[in-house]
Amino acid sequence: MPTRNFDEVTQRLATNVPGCPFPVIEKYVRDAAIEVCETTLVWKYEQPSIRLTPGLHDYEYEPPNNAEVHAFLHVTIAIAGDTPLPIDPLTLEQLYQKYPAWPDHDPDAQSRPQSIAHLDADHFVVAPVPDNADLYDVRMLVALKPLRTAVGMDRTTLDEIENAVMDGALSCLYMLPDKNWTDKRAAEYHKSQFINRMSERRARANLGAGRASMTVKMRPFARRSGGVYGRRH
């Protein structure tokens, strides 16, 4: 997964906030990138298959460097290499409601996991607790976001959201008090642009960006007695 550093965006913004230290600009660039990823789920990543361990209910995600998992997008479980089956993503509260005794490590209560929940940015849990009757492999498509310490993120994703990230960063930078670049009106404008760009990106994610090719079909001119519509005299 090729990475693009935030300092490339920082350099583009520097002329908008003259005198602002680069580390300060980069901080707000990173913060804006995190917010865009959380709101739009634009950074998608197919995690390598994880083999579940009998009797173990919690597992670590395996995201790329400088990233952490924000949400599930799609999860399946395969039994001994068979066709993967969908697994039900739940909130942690829903999981406890569905499995009141979870995590139950009694061998008689263990079986093929049918539900999964996001525990935190580093861990997920499954229920019921896996048994040892089969080999279970979990595959998931997840939405990522940059770490607070990240120096960059996936190049393709940052390329797509760069304009939104710039607006988000500028909306905060222009609000910093008592700076020679402070400009509340500009901050409000870029905040509005930031929200609009995120809304548009989220709508595209919900509807899907794929569209059939547009074609134009030539139609014959309508005819009437005495001539053709559209003919110049």
> In which element (H, E) is residue 25 found?
helix 22-40
Distance CA 68, CA 60 (A): 11
Residue 25 CB: number of other CB atoms within 10 A?
A: 24
For residues 148 and 34, is the Cβ–Cβ distance under 8 A?
yes
- 116 pairs with which residues across the strands? 89, 126
Q: Give the pLDDT confidence of 75-134 residue by residue, as tens digits.
A: 999 987 688 888 989 999 999 999 999 999 899 999 999 999 999 999 999 999 999 999
Note the pLDDT of residue 207: 59
pTM of the model: 0.83
Q: Give the pLDDT confidence of 11-65 residue by residue, as tens digits.
A: 999 999 999 999 999 999 999 999 999 999 999 999 999 999 999 999 999 999 9
Q: Give the pLDDT confidence of 155-182 residue by residue, as tens digits.
A: 999 999 999 999 999 999 999 999 999 9
- No. of H helices and E strands in the chain? 5, 12
Q: Tokens 């993120």 sit at which residue?
A: 153
For residues 62 and 139, is the Cβ–Cβ distance under 8 A?
no
71: left (phi over 0), alpha (psi -120 to 50) or beta: beta
> In which element (H, E) is residue 38 found?
helix 22-40
